[in-house]
């Protein structure tokens, strides 16, 4: 992921502002806030500005994912050639179902907040959507998870990583 972030910042830096790059990376699935903060530290964007851009970018698509994702999966399941994609999403949710359902609100917040591969706001929203969790409660839980991830990634990006560079 770091090599993609470096590549993206180098290439897009020719066309976009540093702030736009952080915002765009933070919106992207998989990259999300984690990648946005890493890019911001590499681009030497002031911490508070970077944090605001990354949080807003990360939370912006989540209501849409919560509302539309389960409908998208149902639509994909109705066609034989897209059914494998829908099944892949269902397997992804089933793999995380127990940990999220066991602790409900806090389980979802921790799932989103702990920066591990395969977790994050997008995945948390997909899980919440397919598990038919309450949308308002899920959105708040995901926001708390994003705030937790921002604390952890701030330490890494602007703390440890900044000292290494």
**Domain ranges, residue 71:** 62-148
User: Are 81 and 139 contained in the same domain?
Assistant: yes
Q: Quick one: angle between helices 135-154 and 121-130, nearest 10?
A: 160
pLDDT at 163: 60
Question: Using an 8 Å Cβ cutoff, are 125 and 65 in contact?
Answer: yes
What pLDDT score does 2 carry?
75
Same domain? 91 vs 45: no
Determine contact, residues 57/79, Cβ cutoff 8 Å: no
**pTM to 2 decimal places:** 0.86
pLDDT less than 50: residues of the chain: none
User: Residues 133, 85: one domain?
Assistant: yes
Kindly state whether residues 82 and 39 are assigned to the same domain: no
d(CA 134, CA 144): 15
Non-local (6+) Cβ contacts of 139 within 8 A are 62, 63, 66
- pLDDT at site 118: 80
Residue 126 and residue 91 in contact, taking contact as beta carbons nearer than 8 Å: no
The single residue listed with the structure tokens 């770091």 is: 2
Number of domains, the chain:
2
Q: Is there a contact between 65 and 58 (Cβ–Cβ < 8 Å)?
A: no
pLDDT score, position 156 = 82
Please state, in angstroms and rounded to a whole number, the distance separating the CA atoms of residues 126 and 93: 7
pLDDT of residue 66: 96
CA atoms within 13 A on the CB side of 162: 15
């Amino acid at each position: 992921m770091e090599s993609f972030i470096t590549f993206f910042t180098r290439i897009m830096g020719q066309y976009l502002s540093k702030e736009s790059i952080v915002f765009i990376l933070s919106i992207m699935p998989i990259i999300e806030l984690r990648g946005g903060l890493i890019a911001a530290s590499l681009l030497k964007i002031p911490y508070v500005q970077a944090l605001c851009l990354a949080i807003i970018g990360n939370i912006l698509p989540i209501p849409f994912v919560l509302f539309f994702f389960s409908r998208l999966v149902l639509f994909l399941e109705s066609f034989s050639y897209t059914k494998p994609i829908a099944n892949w999403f269902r397997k992804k949710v089933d793999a995380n179902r127990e940990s999220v359902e066991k602790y409900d609100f806090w389980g979802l917040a921790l799932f989103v907040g702990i920066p591990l591969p395969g977790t994050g706001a997008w995945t948390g929203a997909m899980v919440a959507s397919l598990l038919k969790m309450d949308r308002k409660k899920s959105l708040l839980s995901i926001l708390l998870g994003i705030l937790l991830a921002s604390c952890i990634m701030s330490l890494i990006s602007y703390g440890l990583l900044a000292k290494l560079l």
